[in-house]
Structure 1
Amino acid sequence: MYNRCTTPNFQESFSKISNINGRFHRISSMLLDHIIMTIVIIPPIMLIILASNAIFKFDNRILSRVFFSMVFIYVNKDFFNAKSPAKRILGYRVINRKTEKPATELQCFIRNLTIAIAWPLEVIVGYINPQRRIGDYIANTKVVTSDKEKLKTILTDLKNKKFKLNFLIILIIGMIYFYGLSLTIPNLN
């Protein structure tokens, strides 16, 4: 039987593994974000697909809207305090390169748009330059070390968030962007 005091939790274990090398640490942050966001996004999509087949008869347009809504959540993972779930756990933050302050919601959104179409390429660029990937060059941001936080701090940030004009701009850009992506997939229109 394991002793709770001597058994490291997931966050501690992942931090130890990822601290092997600075490049690996940054790539592990990207990978952990992908895993966490997939865990958040896949169950609702699966439930909707199962419900659509068993109870409702959704057409492909509704399913595509649900899918792209979930991708929209994925793309906005850095929205609260410029820290995604993995960045909180591993101690990173997205900052504005010019001001050195936390990146705005709009900058975080723009930097993550490239993930939807070029995730493998982003990983390669992130490995070559741990501070900046393609999206960072577009949004004029970079990733720096920060205090490590627990995941539950996202809820605190959510409660304290005051939505501004940035949020409306992000919604409009997101709708246009993901509508355009949906047009590229056959049989959804």
Structure 2
Amino acid sequence: MTDSNKNFNILMDKETPKITNVNSRIFRVLSMLLDHFIMIFIIVPPLIMLIILGEIGILKISDMTFYVVFFSMIFIYINKDFINAKSPAKRILGYQVINLKTGKPANELQCFVRNLTICVAWPLEVIIGFINPERRIGDFIANTKVVISEKEKLKSIWTDLKSITLKLNFIGILIIGVIYFYGLSLILPNMN
């Protein structure tokens, strides 16, 4: 091996972890942003349609009905990791949320709890996700982390969705969700 090849190999051994770390940070933040755009694409059109139908008089919508629909959409956003601990973007980019203690996919309740911080600290979560691609604030609360996983097509959501059965976690998530959103409704003006 020539001196230039040795120098190149030494340089690559030193620089590859830095490049890999930067790429994992960028891909992790891209995953968060892609999830955000996908979920907004799912949530915003029904809300806009509801507002338009209410404004033109086709539907008579009270403020409370609108808030119930709005918070239901936010509930869907928060539960984006619900199916096999992978959100749509995590499936596309090859990530999965795992339980920190067991190393297995996080359960539905852990995925729900880790995403509760998104409603109040989304920009901060993105910054933390860039600093620490494996764990953001919600992961510390839920005792989870994000790891590299097999990439999947979005169609896999339907396959996984068909195999879901009612679990005790689902009831817990609904109860926590109602309490959480009721608390948020007390903070928002003009809801009562």
Deviation at 1:32, TM superposition (A): 0.2
The residue number in structure 2 matching 1:146 is 149
Letter in 2 for 1:41: I
Is 1:66 equivalent to 2:72 in the alignment? no
The residue number in structure 2 matching 1:43 is 45
**1:117 is matched with which residue: 117, 120, 138?**
120
Deviation at 1:56, TM superposition (A): 2.0
| Helix, strand or coil at the partner of 2:179 | helix
TM-score (structure 2 length as normaliser) = 0.87
Deviation at 1:57, TM superposition (A): 2.2
Q: What does 1:134-173 correspond to in 2, within 5 Å? A: 134-173=137-176
The residue number in structure 1 matching 2:130 is 127
Could you tell me how far apart the structure 2 residues matched to 1:147 and 1:171 are?
30
Q: Which has the higher helix share?
A: 2
TM-score (structure 1 length as normaliser) = 0.88
Could you tell me how far apart the structure 1 residues matched to 2:75 and 2:134 are?
24
Please, which runs of 5 or more residues in structure 2 have no aligned partner? Answer: 1-20
The residue number in structure 2 matching 1:89 is 92
| Helix, strand or coil at the partner of 2:104 | coil
Letter in 2 for 1:174: G
| Helix, strand or coil at the partner of 1:142 | strand
Could you tell me how far apart the structure 1 residues matched to 2:110 and 2:62 are?
34
Could you tell me how far apart the structure 1 residues matched to 2:134 and 2:22 are?
17
**2:187 is matched with which residue: 177, 184, 189?**
184
Deviation track 1:13-43 (CA, whole Å, cap 9, x = no partner) reads: xxxxxx9711101000000000000000001
Could you tell me how far apart the structure 2 residues matched to 1:99 and 1:66 are?
36
The residue number in structure 1 matching 2:54 is 52
**1:98 is matched with which residue: 94, 97, 101?**
101
Runs (4 or more) in structure 1 with deviation over 2 Å come to none
Letter in 2 for 1:181: L
Is 1:30 equivalent to 2:32 in the alignment? yes
| Helix, strand or coil at the partner of 1:174 | helix
Please, which runs of 5 or more residues in structure 1 have no aligned partner? Answer: 1-18
Letter in 2 for 1:73: I
Deviation track 1:63-103 (CA, whole Å, cap 9, x = no partner) reads: 11110000000000000000000000000000000000000
**1:107 is matched with which residue: 107, 110, 122?**
110
Could you tell me how far apart the structure 2 residues matched to 1:185 and 1:175 are?
15
Deviation at 1:49, TM superposition (A): 1.1
Length, aligned pairs only: 171
| Helix, strand or coil at the partner of 1:21 | helix
